[in-house]
Each structure stands twice: as structure tokens, then as C-alpha cells.
Amino acid sequence: MSANPITSAEDLSINQTTVDLNNHVYDQLELLSEMSRDFAASRDIEASLARAVQHITDHVNAEGGALFLLEDEGATLKCHGSVGMTDITGITLNSDQGIVGRCVQSDKAEIVRDVADDPNFHKGVDDETGYTTRSILCAPMRVKGERIGAIELINKRVGDGLFEESDLHLLEAMSASAALAIHNARMADALVEQEKLARELELAAEIQRSLLPDGNDGITEVRGINIPARTVSGDFFDYFQLDDKRIRFNLGDVSGKGMNAALLMAKTSSLYRCLGKTIDQPGKLLGRVNAEICETATRGMFVTMVGGIYDPRSGIVRMSNAGHEPPLFRTAEGEYTDFEAEMPPVGITTFLGDSDEYPELELRLNGGALYIFTDGVTEGYLEDGKEFGVEGVKGLLDDLSSVEPGSRLEQVVRKVNWGTDKLRDDLTMLVIDDAAAFKERSKSKSIDVVSSAAADLNSDEIMRITVPARADRLKLVRNWVFETARFCDCSEDTSHGMVIAVDEALQNIIRHAYKNSGIGDIDISIQRSDEKLIIVIRDYAETIDTETVRSRDVEDVRPGGLGVHFIQEVMDEAGFMPPPEGGGNVLRLVKQIQ
Amino acid sequence: MNCETREEQGVTIASLSGDVDLQSSPEVRKILIECVDQGKSLVVDLSGVGYIDSSGVASLVESFQRSRKHGHGFVLVAVSEGALRVLKLARLDKVFTICDTLEEGLSSLNK
């Protein structure tokens, strides 16, 4: 509070001397409230200071007055308002110069009854203005022990023109009030400025939030979450559906924090979304975004990010990683794999190996979930002060495997955002969860693995052949199958159907198992068991994942992928036997003989 | 497999014969796409096709889609029993325009 605290009512006892004092107290209060009102109304500190000097000068009945405030971290004193003689508003003194300087330094009010006797009197101002200073009053201004300046009055208007001790007390009281009013005005000013900045920041954050998907887009397989450590974030994620139902996704982390990171985030995210509607391949797309950012981004800023496409109909993810934390894949069985970035972040160089595109990685989710996150999650502190870490994240994901993807992310992030007011970094995480889509896909028929017990032990083998895995032998095989089926009393129609089934099965083996190499054998055995014809086809190629052999919805008209559908249409049973010892695959087809 | 192409009434006609299977379908695909890219409607005569497999069907589907994209007609005519069996398995008998004879096919395009 002020140097001269306003005392309680007991001090204001009724006698002649205290009536004067009483008036003074009233005047200080009046000054304080008037200055405060003035600042609040005008919001112009300078004008209010000038009026305050006028008020004080009049009240003490001085010829002139000036109000100095400390500036340049206390190195100088600048006049912010003056009355009388010459206007010295704006002049600057060293903070130890003159009587006003001495007063501020010593932090004591003083009276120089006659300047002629004072060696500290700075004659410079008088020389410049042509004014004659005879007597000076000077009182420091301070708030909460902090010096902020001083008020100086010159020459008493009445009598001999020299100030009295009582004038000094009056000035001291008034300067304390002025100091408080100035302090309040400055605080109010800073507050207004702060609020303005906060409003602008909040507006920026709102725009940023609008760049993130709101989760009301009907996409259930992909979910994301972003918790900024400050108002704005340098992290981002996005996902959206393409016309063919595939889902494009990305997640990134801009180097640095604050507004510049937020702006680069907005730029990168918008570029990706826009270009992502025309450029299909994730590696090429990321390459184009990189080229654009390299060309225009501020030097030294970069973005680590992962971008890709997920196809819920196949469970396949294709993605590229530009210097980002390795995405974490959790299989349906709970095994983890991560994928290190092979190329630098976006915004550093357009020379990516021998190409300007990022390498792509293909991943079949098969009911598992792919997690992409920023290091804010793994490097965040838990409530016990320990770092979360990738292992911590894995452990929690194991516990949450049956939880819906969106709330799974919320719970992971909450581990680090447990109520601390100081997050270490932005928290951003994205999940591509294939579980539901996998279930849906499994409903469409696939060729099952049948147990060996289901194979018929008492069947008669009619004939067995071995052919090289070559397309030019298919016609021979077809003729053989047709004749053998006819031999077994199959109708012509049934025999044609069996031809189609065997032909398609062999086609798949030649193209996919032996990869069109033309090298390798295929054994075909036709057996008869009661009223069933059993065809067993064996190859010696790498054992395939039977999940990948799947029929396609025939309503979906496009080339390719019909073979398995044909087999299932014409045969009564079709299934893989458990993989034989020594590798390869065994397919068993069964048809009732009509 | 054999494939002959000719032009009649401003329409390209491709006559396939023999087996269209894994061995021959790449060539069939190439010929049909060349025909489509000539910028005329295409009639594919399947009367001589004894057998067609899924890869042959895929070639037909691809050239059919390409033709539609160009805004031209695409008709299958005189589809043999064996080929029709496979087209039906693929439910493509409802997708393709299929005419019994070449004449019907040509007039369906000139409507």
C-alpha cells in the first residue's frame, strides 16, 4: 500500500490541527478515486497523468509541477506530465540526475527550500526554459516497495515563493495516492492486453479444433484424440472416407510449440486433406506434401508424420512414415510389432533416397489394431512421476482390448493427462481398429480349413496325376477331369462344373502359390466315396494364409477375384486341409454325384 | 484360342474361338482393349468359345467397363453354352448385354 497509510477514524479527533489533516486525508482519497476514475474512463494513462499533476500542483499551490516515471528498467526518469512555466513532458533524465533523481534513489521525500543552496540542483532545465527555480518539493512514488517515479513541485505561489515542511507532507500523501492509481491503471492495462491475447489464442485454438475430425462422420474403424498442452497445438490427426469407402488417415507432430507450430500444423493438415483427394498412393501423397512444405516452410521447422489408407473391406493398411514415432500394431492375438521410419520428417529435404516419394508399407490388420501417436503420450508423466513409456502404453492397451476404440484412446491419454496442470507435450493418438470390419468380412464365405478327420479314409482313388504348374497344361487337366467325372457317372452338367472348379483352383495355385513362375508340381487325385466325388489338389509352394483366399461379392462388378466364388458355387464342399508336412497346401473339393 | 476382328456398320466385331483360359486370356484382354480404344462400339462373338474361366471373364469385364467409360456400346453375341454357364456363375449374365445373334447385337447398338 501507500507510504502514508490512511489511518483509522480514531486518528481524526476533533481539534483544529486535525481538521486540516482531515482535509488532507479527504484530498488524498479524493485524488486516488478521481485518478482511478479518470484512468478507467479514458483508458489513456498519459492524459490522466497530466491531469493528476495539474490537480496536485493546484492543491499544493505551486507554480509548476512535473511527474516522472522510472523507465528502461530504472535507468532513466521520463517526465509524463508537467504544469506551469514550460511544458517539459517527454524529457528524460538519468535516474540519478537532479533533485528528482536523488529523491527517487534515496526513496525519501525532500524539500529544497532554496535551490541556490543545493549542489544537486540541475540547472540544465532552467537554462533551457529560461525559468528561475527557487524552491523545490519532491516526493517519490512507490507501490509495494517498488519505486516507480517521483512528483516534483516548483516555487510556492504565495509568500516568499519557498515551500514549507507542511507542503512536503501534503505532497507525500498525494504522491502515494498517485502511485497507487498509476499502479492500478498499469495492472488494468496489462490485464486488458492479456485478455485480448487470450481471446485471440482461444480463437486460433477453435479454428484448430475445427481441422480435426469431429467423430460424427459415420466412420467407426478409425478414432483419434488430441489434447493440447497449451491453448494451441502443434499436433494433428485427420481421417476421412474416400468415395470407394477406403479411409485416408494421418497423424503428425510439428517441431516446436506455440503459434508458429500451430500455423504449420494447419498448413500441413490442410495440404494433406486437399491433395489426399486426388493423389491415391500414401507415399506419393506424403512426397507431394513434403515438397510443398520444403518450398515454403520456415527454415528449421519440420513435421514428423504418418499417413496412409485403410481398406475396411480387406483390412489392409498402406502407409508411409516421415520420421515419426514408430506406429504400434497390436494383432488380434495381442502380439505387438512396430514400424520404424525410414525417411526424414516432412519439411527437411526433397531428396528421399533416389525418389521424391516416401516408401510405403503394407500391413494386413486381420482384426488387429494399429496405433499411431505422438511422443507426448509415451513421454508423458504418470501420476506417480514415472514416464509412461511404450511398454506402459502396450500394457494398458492389453487391458483395454475389449473397450470400444474411441474410449480406449481416451483412457490411454487420461493416464498422462491425469489432472496435472502442466502437460509435458501435446497428446495425440489415432487408432485404426480392424476388429469389427474383420468380423464383418469373416461372414462372407472363406475357404475353411477342414480337419483331417473329415477327409474320407475309405474312398477309392480313381486316378492321380501330377502336372507342372503351367497355364498351358490347364486344357489337358480340364479334359482329364471331365472324362474322369463322366467315368464316375457324373452328369454332363456336374462334370462341367467340376472342370470349372479344378481349373480355377489350379489357376490360383499357378498365379498366387507359385507366383506365375511356371516351376513346381501340382498333384491332383480324384477319389470316389459312396455317392461323393472327392478331388484333392496339392501344391508344394509356400503354405498360404487361408484367410486370404476369399470369395468376392459378385454384385461388385470388377475384373478378377471370381475364381473362389466359382469353386464355391459349383462344389458342395471346398476346404483346405491342415498344411501337410514338408510344406505346400492341400485343397479338398467334394461334389455329390447325382 | 483364336481371335478375329473386323468392322461392320461402324462397329468393331471380335470373334473369339477356342478356350479362353489362364493361358490365352492375357492375349484376349489385349485384343479387346485395343478394340475398345478404337473408339467404336464393340460386339464380342463368343459362339466358338468352348471354355472360358474367371481370367477370361475378367478380360470381358475390364473391356466392358472401359467401353462404358468411353461412352460406347459393348455387346456379347452368340454366347456358347459353356461360356454362358460361367457368366451365369459370375451373375454377369445380368450385367452384360447378351444377344442371341450377331444381327441382333448390331441392331441393339444402332437403336
pLDDT digits (tens, 9 = 90+) for A312-344: 988 889 999 999 999 999 998 899 999 988 888
- Cα A471 from Cα B27, distance rounded (Å): 13
**A173 and A238 fall within a common domain:** no
Q: Give the C-alpha distances (Å, rounded to integers) separating B17 from A72, A478, A561, B80.
A: 98, 17, 24, 10
Task: Tell me which H or E stretch contains A17.
Answer: helix A16-42
The pLDDT of residue A24 is 54
Helices and strands per DSSP (H, E), number in chain A = 14, 22
Q: What's the CATH code of the domain at A279?
A: 3.60.40.10
Confidence of residue A468 (pLDDT cuts 50, 70, 90): very high
Q: How confident is the model at residue A298 (pLDDT cuts 50, 70, 90)?
A: low
d(CA A150, CA A93): 12
Secondary element (H or E) of residue B15: strand B11-20
Q: How far apart are CA A163 and CA A178, in angstroms?
A: 21
Asked if residue A200 is part of any domain, the answer here is no
For A8-56, how does the pLDDT look when each residue is reduced to its tens digit (9 = 90+)? 433 333 344 444 444 555 566 777 777 777 777 777 778 888 888 888 8
Same domain for A133 and A225, yes or no, is: no
A78 and A53 in a common domain: yes
Instruction: Share the mean pLDDT of chain A.
Output: 83
What are the chain B neighbours of A508 within 8 Å (beta carbons)?
A: none
Buried b (16+ CB within 10 A) or exposed e, A187-204: eeeeeeeeeeeeeebeeb
Q: Are A373 and A251 in contact (CB under 8 A)?
A: yes
Size of interface A-B (CB pairs under 8 A): 65
d(CA A407, CA A433): 12
Does A224 share its domain with A172?
no
Phi-psi map region of A506: left, alpha, beta (phi>0 left; psi -120 to 50 alpha): alpha
Predicted pLDDT of residue A484: 94
A chain contacts of residue B94, beta-carbon cutoff 8 Å: none
Share of chain B above pLDDT 70, in %: 99
pLDDT in tens, B78-89: 999 999 999 988
User: What's the average model confidence in pLDDT over A508-527?
Assistant: 90
> Do A406 and A455 reside in the same domain of the chain?
no
Is A16 in the same domain as A41?
A: yes
Joined grid coordinates for residue A167: 507542503
Q: Which residues contact A178 (CB under 8 A, 6 or more apart)?
A: A31, A32, A35, A52, A56, A67, A141, A151
Q: What residues does A381 pair with on adjacent strands? A: A387
Q: Is the pLDDT of residue A63 over 50?
A: yes
- For A448, phi then psi, to 5°, come to -80, 160
Distance of alpha carbon B85 from alpha carbon A573, whole angstroms: 20
Q: Are A321 and A339 in contact (CB under 8 A)?
A: yes
ipTM: 0.87
Q: Are residues A497 and A398 in the same domain?
A: no
Percent helix, strand and coil across chain A, each to the nearest 5 = 40, 25, 35
Arithmetic mean of pLDDT, A200-210: 83
CA A193 vs CA A39, A43, A61, A146, A148: distances in Å: 15, 12, 38, 22, 21
On whether both A298 and A422 belong to a single domain, the answer is yes
Which among A503, A510, A559 has CB closest to B58? A559
The C-alpha atoms of residue B63 and residue A182 are separated, in whole angstroms, by: 85
Region B83-108: what's the mean pLDDT? 90
Q: Is A409 helix (H, G, I), strand (E, B) or coil?
A: helix
**pLDDT above 70 coverage of chain A, percent:** 88
Q: Are residues A434 and A452 in the same domain?
A: no
Rounded to whole angstroms, how far apart are CA atoms A478 and A231? 71
Chain B residue whose CA is closest to A555:
B91
Residues with Cβ within 8 Å of residue B86, at least 6 apart in sequence = A500, A566, B52, B53, B54, B56, B57
* Inter-chain residue contact A554 with B95, CB threshold 8 Å: no
CATH of the domain at A114: 3.30.450.40
- Residues A182, A282 within the same domain: no
Would you say residue A169 has pLDDT above 60? Answer: yes
Which of the four CATH numbers 3.40.50.300, 3.20.20.70, 3.30.750.24, 3.20.20.80 does domain B2-104 have? Answer: 3.30.750.24
Mutate to test the interface with A, among B19, B20, B21, B22 (most CBs of A within 10 A): B22
Query: Which three three-digit cell numbers place residue A438?
Result: 474383420
For residue A448, is pLDDT > 70? no
**Which of B53, B59, B95 shows the shortest C-beta gap to A504?**
B53
CATH code (residue A580) = 3.30.565.10
pLDDT 10s digits, A454-465:
455 677 889 999
Q: How many residues does chain B have?
A: 111
Chain A nearest-CA distance from B84, in A, is 12
The pLDDT value recorded for residue A21 is 46
Residues on chain A touching B61 (C-beta within 8 angstroms): 557-559
Domain boundary among A156, A189, A222: A189
Higher pLDDT, A287 or A119: A287
Distance from CA of B49 to the nearest CA of A (A): 13
Share of chain A above pLDDT 90, in %: 32
Question: Is residue A3 in a domain?
Answer: no
List strand residue ranges (DSSP E) for A336-399, in order.
Answer: 336-338, 361-364, 369-373
Asked if A303 and A251 touch (Cβ cutoff 8 Å), the reply is: no
Tell whether the model's pLDDT for residue A7 goes beyond 60. no
The boundaries of the domain holding residue A449 are 444-592
Domain boundary among A406, A438, A470: A438
- Domain boundary residue, one of A189, A223, A246: A189
Supply the pLDDT for residue A420: 74
* B93 burial via Cβ count (<10 Å: 0-12, 13-18, 19+): middle
- CA-based nearest distance B45→chain A, Å: 20
Are A221 and A432 in contact, with CB atoms under 8 Å apart?
A: yes
Residue A449 has pLDDT above 60, yes or no: no
Gap between the Cα atoms of A464 and A46, Å rounded = 107
Cell of A168: 512536503
Residue A451 pLDDT more than 60? no
DSSP code per residue over A110-160: EEES-GGG-TT--THHHHHHT-----EEEEEEEETTEEEEEEEEEEESSTT
pLDDT of residue A247: 95
- DSSP secondary structure letters along A433-444: E-HHHHHHHHHS
Residue-wise pLDDT for A225-259, tens only, equals 998 888 878 889 999 998 888 999 999 998 877 78
Structural domains in chain A (count): 3
Residue A199 lies in a domain: no
By the 8 A CB rule, do A260 and A301 touch?
yes
Q: How far is CA A24 from the centre of its chain?
A: 60
Radius of gyration of chain B (CA): 12
Show residues of chain A in contact with B85, CB under 8 Å.
496, 500
pLDDT score of A4 more than 70: no
User: Do A113 and A164 sit in the same domain of this protein?
Assistant: yes
Set of chain A residues whose Cβ sits within 8 Å of the Cβ of B53? 474, 500, 503-504, 507, 563
Same domain, A465 and A434: no
